Amino acid sequence: MAVLVVAALVGIIPESGPHLFFVTLYAQGMIPFSVLLTNSVVQDGHGMLPLLAHSRRDFTIVKTINLIIGLLVGLVVLATGW
């Protein structure tokens, strides 16, 4: 569960590089799919950088929504045993 939260928090970073860490861990069988899915839902690569430059408030709102949805999806998938 702690790794799921860490994956979600790392997903807040508006860059795609940190996501590769979780892809690699999943490919090696070190983390469950739910952790990778959580990071994937929260992580949106460089797509948020223009919004961050335009409005920090809107960036924070979008990332908060992504974080909540990502954690909910990850917890549901984790509960099903994936």
Q: Is the pLDDT of residue 73 over 80?
A: yes
Residues 6+ apart with CB under 8 A from 19: 10, 11, 39, 40, 43, 45
45 Rama sector, left if φ>0, alpha if ψ -120 to 50, beta otherwise:
left
State percent of the chain over pLDDT 90: 68
AA identity, residue 61: I
Confidence band of 27 (pLDDT split at 50, 70, 90): very high
Residues 19, 24, 27, 31: is their CA dihedral positive or negative? negative
Query: For residue 19, what pLDDT is reported?
Result: 85
CA dist., res. 47 & res. 68, Å (int): 19
Mean pLDDT of 27-55: 90
Position 53 scores a pLDDT of 86
At position 64, the amino acid (one-letter code) is T
Q: What is the pLDDT of residue 14?
A: 80
Question: 44-63: per-residue pLDDT in tens?
Answer: 878 888 888 899 999 999 99
